[in-house]
């Protein structure tokens, strides 16, 4: 089994207002910069009223990584400078490759009223793929392979990577596993993870014991990281739980970042800013 490396995030009962959006940020923190190749994890939640602007963001650029959205509740609209437009419903996933540059906008669908909740994850790209052609994967819940938990009633959605012979719905540039795990009380399961992968587990709701050595509990400890010393982790639910299990092959390259750009050098960051200003990442009207 992979042994516990760090308690990376102690959960709070409230969300922090960041630019008008209500967000928890378990990654990065003051004590944990990244879990290579994962750069950022935002857990957002917002009540959208009849006249609320919701989570809508003005069009903004990205370059050099892959922004991924796991929608937990609500309906979310995506538009980008490639001409893609897609609507996510609860359980859907949006896997976008910013690559050489893309401009996009996202927010609740026009008629949606209710609770919006989701995860935005930033997955780094190695230098050889940072200028890859941008693309957009709109992955519907029903198209995500689902595995029934062997010792219970829960399920595991294989969004990316591979588990128990099931290949994930998303294509990735490097080895990345992304699993959405739902467990009912007393469900227990073992998740195989390559030994060389960096691994993190984030609890969205409930209470789950990990490897019989640590308990993730809502509002207390919510994110754990693990050493690269084993090839599996075990989960056992004390309460009905939802978890995001992520693992990936470390890229082990220097990271230079500024706002929406993630590159390898400050020179490349300046080039990204210039290219956006000159319209080379496209336009969104």
- Tens-place pLDDT, residues 46-94: 888 776 654 555 789 999 999 999 999 999 999 999 999 889 999 999 9
- Tens-place pLDDT, residues 97-146: 999 999 999 888 888 888 889 999 999 999 999 999 999 999 999 999 99
Cis amide bond preceding 74, omega within 30: no
Per-residue confidence band for 239, with pLDDT thresholds at 50, 70 and 90? very high
106 labelled ligand-binding: yes
| CA dist., res. 26 & res. 38, Å (int) | 12
Q: What is the pLDDT of residue 266?
A: 98
Q: What is the pLDDT of residue 13?
A: 56
62 labelled ligand-binding: yes
Q: What is the pLDDT of residue 171?
A: 97
Per-residue confidence band for 242, with pLDDT thresholds at 50, 70 and 90? very high
Averaged pLDDT for residues 176-200 = 97
| CB distance 231 to 258 below 8 Å | no
CA 64 to chain centre: 16
Averaged pLDDT for residues 219-228 = 94
Q: What is the pLDDT of residue 23?
A: 84
60 labelled ligand-binding: yes
Q: What is the pLDDT of residue 151?
A: 79
Domains in the chain with CATH codes: 4-277 (2.60.120.10)
Q: What is the pLDDT of residue 128?
A: 98
| CA dist., res. 147 & res. 156, Å (int) | 5
Q: What is the pLDDT of residue 14?
A: 61
Please count the residues of the chain. Answer: 285
Q: What is the pLDDT of residue 106?
A: 87
Q: What is the pLDDT of residue 284?
A: 82
Mean pLDDT of the chain: 92
- Tens-place pLDDT, residues 6-36: 999 987 656 676 655 678 899 998 889 999 9
Does position 159 have pLDDT exceeding 60, yes or no? yes
Print the SS3 string covering 158-201.
EEECEECCEECCECCCCCEEEEEEEECCCCEEEEECCCCCEEEE
| Nearest of 173, 166, 169, 57 to residue 120 by alpha carbon | 57
């Amino acid at each position: 089994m992979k042994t516990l490396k760090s308690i990376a995030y102690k959960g709070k009962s409230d969300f922090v207002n960041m630019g008008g959006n209500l967000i928890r940020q378990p990654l990065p923190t003051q004590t944990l910069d990244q879990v290579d190749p994962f750069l950022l994890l935002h857990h957002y939640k917002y009540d959208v009223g009849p006249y609320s602007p919701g989570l809508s963001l003005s069009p903004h650029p990205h370059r050099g990584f892959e922004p991924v959205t796991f929608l937990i509740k609500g309906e979310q609209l995506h538009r980008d400078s490639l001409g893609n437009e897609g609507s996510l419903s609860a359980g859907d996933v949006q896997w976008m490759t910013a690559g050489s540059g893309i401009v996009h906008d996202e927010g609740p669908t026009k008629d949606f009223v209710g609770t919006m909740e989701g995860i935005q994850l930033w997955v780094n790209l190695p230098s050889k793929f940072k200028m890859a052609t941008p693309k957009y994967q709109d992955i519907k819940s029903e198209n995500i392979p689902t595995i029934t938990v062997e010792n219970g009633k829960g399920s595991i959605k294989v969004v990316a990577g591979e588990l128990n012979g099931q290949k994930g719905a998303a294509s990735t540039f490097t080895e990345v596993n992304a699993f959405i795990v739902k467990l009912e009380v007393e469900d227990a399961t073992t998740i195989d993870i390559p030994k060389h992968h960096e691994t993190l587990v984030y609890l969205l709701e409930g209470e789950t014991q990990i490897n019989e050595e640590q308990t993730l509990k809502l509002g207390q400890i919510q994110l754990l990281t693990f050493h690269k010393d084993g090839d599996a982790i075990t989960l056992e639910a004390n309460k009905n739980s939802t978890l995001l299990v992520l693992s990936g092959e470390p890229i082990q390259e220097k990271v230079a970042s500024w706002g929406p750009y993630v590159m390898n050098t400050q020179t490349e960051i300046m080039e990204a800013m210039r290219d956006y200003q000159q319209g080379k990442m496209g336009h969104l009207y």
